[in-house]
A and B are shown apart, each in its own frame.
Chain A
Amino acid sequence: MKDTLPLILQKVSAGFPSPATDYIEEPINLNDELIKNPSSTFLIRVQGNSMIEHKITEGDVLIVDRSLKLKSNSIAVLNFEGELVVKKIIQRNNKYFICSTKNNSLDYLEIESCLDTQLWGVVSYVIHKV
């Protein structure tokens, strides 16, 4: 709920009325648009360029929502061997795999089979400064 209402700005006066007065709306609130669940959403900054093929580069800010379920092709933050990493996730036969591009070859890592790998949160948006 917004506590302000659009006002009719147009006063009775001589001259041309502003054409914009017919379209007074709330400005866009990016928080509302990009963050559906504020309690579970964290902003996290990216280090490194290993996700460049997924258009995520050094310095980008990830909007990570921990309430979201993992899906195929999700980009997710994982607790991976004692470190937080961002990875692409792929689903095969009802199981999720980490898509990693080590040594230029694509290898899949089964998440469940790997005890020190846990889902931290699912990335919902990437903020990239141009």
Chain B
Amino acid sequence: MLYTKCNKKKIIALVDCNSFYVSCERLFNPKIKNVPVVVLSNNDGCVISRSTEAKQIGIKMGEPYFKVKHLVKKNNIAVFSSNYALYGDLSRRVMNILKKFSSCIEYYSIDEAFLDLTDMIIENINDYIVEMKKIIYQYTGIPVSIGVASTKTLAKVANFLAKKKDNGVENLTIRSSNEINSILQKIDVRDIWGVGSQLSKLYKKNNINNGYELKIKNTAWIRKNTNIIGLKTVAELNGISCIDFNDGENAPRKSCCVSRSFGKKVETLQELEQSITSHCLNAAEKIRQDQQLVKSVVIFIKTSPFDQSNFISLSKKVDLPIATDDSFVLLDICLKALSEIFIKGQKYQKAGVFFLGLQNKENYQANLFSIKDSEKSGKLMKILDDANLKFGRNFMSVGDVGFRGSWKMRRDYSSRIDTSDFECLPTVNSG
């Protein structure tokens, strides 16, 4: 039943921005073009983006900043606080350019998108993706890698290969199955899309160590020992496209942000509460219209970046145990978070609310239902892991709790540039 709807060979591209946040910071700061750079998560907690040079030095993804501080100092690594206003604007530009290359796009995350090229009239796929990469770089300055294959899972593999190549593109649709098999043999099963850490442990215990061994595993065993996602992964490794495409404009958004600069500077908690309340209610209304639920909430307040001596940007992320679209629950969380990060005596210039990890209400409820049916509680974690992987990979939880009370000492390395705010434009020297 799983396979019947997939009869036509598809052509699917995965476009992934290279070290996206670092690339955004580099765009207006050529000084850091060839030096190691890292970008830190909210409140400068963890490393969430690394340049190639920083990776080579041994900085790991998600590592707490204090743990790598000695490496940063020793190697003169440029450090930035995350500047989501800038990254969001550049992401929007990249995604808009992709529309010229396919009418069927799934915006997978802030820096990744799947394109269905099956029905496009393309003379040569290689030339097409090389051109796509060139245009994106010329228009936005963001380098991307592009992988093409007959399924999403294989497109991920192709992208993985593309990242290691000088030209940054890989097209598996022109490779023989022998070639693809030997490629899959070199990929750890843990690195196959859709295989979480739990599942990879199970596979390795059963001697499935790489992508090829998973591809040739008999489906009866997979069906018995995993779930529908496991089955789909194996089918996709075999070139049978099974994972749905959330295409084009109809694709549900994955995050929703409402923020506004104040007409005049705001100092009191009460005024900020009013602003956060209105942003929160607006955002809640938007997501309810789209039949979505919120998994994480981020609120932020900041002072003017022109206030050189005293620029502060405060934010807090709260992960909800159960996704909700209830305005009262959401508002309660926002206001509590605000009261925790608020500092008296500052002149605030902007406040905002982000809803992250948005998910389809129907799907979410279906997932909850399937939990009841499952025998192992591990499956609950699997679903949560998958949701995290799918919706939240750029928004790692940093354990804000641990930083509470000490955030006053937190240094801020923000580039302060906002390409979508007239007051915070990048600058150029005429000298």
Contact = CB atoms under 8 A, between A and B. Distances in A.
Interface residues of B, number: 21
Nearest to A121: B141
Interface string B22-33: 000000101101
> Taking each of B31, B96, B141, B429, which has the highest tally of chain A beta carbons within 10 Å of its own beta carbon?
B429
A79 interface: yes
Contacts of A37: 139
Contact of B139 (A50, A61, A67, A83): A67
A47 B426 CA distance: 10
Interface in A66-114: 66-67, 77, 79, 82-86
Interface stretch (A3-11, A18-26, A28-36, A38-46): A38-46
Interface string B397-419: 00000000000000000000001
B430 A48 contact: yes
B427 A45 contact: yes
A70 to B, nearest CB: 12
Contacts of B94: 39
Contact of B30 (A44, A47, A79): A79
Contacts of A86: 428-430
A42 to B, nearest CB: 6
Contacts of B140: 39-40, 66
A44 B419 CA distance: 8
Contact of B31 (A45, A47, A82): A82
Interface string B17-50: 0000000000010110100000000000000000
Given A39-B93, A67-B139, A83-B30, A50 B422 contact: no
Interface string B122-145: 000000000000000011110000
A62 B422 contact: no
A19 B426 CA distance: 45
A40 B31 contact: no
Contact of A61 (B93, B97, B141, B425): B425
B143 to A, nearest CB: 14
Interface centre among A38, A40, A83, A86 (most CB of B within 10 A): A40
A75 to B, nearest CB: 10
B430 A42 contact: no
A46 B427 contact: yes
A86 B431 CA distance: 8
A66 B138 contact: yes
A3 B289 CA distance: 20
Contact of A43 (B93, B139, B419, B429): B419
Contact of A62 (B28, B33, B139, B428): B428
A27 to B, nearest CB: 19
A42 B429 contact: no
B426 A46 contact: no
B33 to A, nearest CB: 8
A77 B430 CA distance: 9
Contacts of A85: 428-431
A61 B430 CA distance: 12
B137 to A, nearest CB: 9
B307 to A, nearest CB: 17
A115 to B, nearest CB: 11
A37 B138 CA distance: 12
B30 A50 contact: no
A67 B138 contact: yes
Contact of A56 (B96, B419, B430): B430
A7 B138 CA distance: 42
B420 to A, nearest CB: 9
B96 A46 contact: no
A40 to B, nearest CB: 4
Contacts of A79: 30, 33
A42 B96 contact: no
B139 to A, nearest CB: 4
Nearest to B30: A79
A51 B419 contact: no
Given A39-B97, A43-B425, A83-B30, A50 B431 contact: yes
A39 B96 contact: yes
Contacts of A82: 30-31, 33
Among B30, B138, B430, the most chain A Cβ lie within 10 Å of the Cβ of B430
Given A44-B427, A83-B31, A85-B431, 16 more contacts: A37-B139, A38-B93, A39-B93, A39-B140, A40-B93, A44-B426, A47-B427, A50-B430, A50-B431, A58-B430, A66-B141, A79-B33, A82-B33, A83-B30, A84-B426, A85-B429
List the 5 shortest-distance A-B pairs measured between CB atoms, nearest first. Answer: A40-B139, A51-B430, A50-B430, A79-B30, A82-B31
Interface of A: 37-40, 42-51, 56, 58, 61-62, 66-67, 77, 79, 82-86, 120
6 contacts: A38-B96, A40-B138, A40-B139, A43-B422, A61-B425, A82-B30
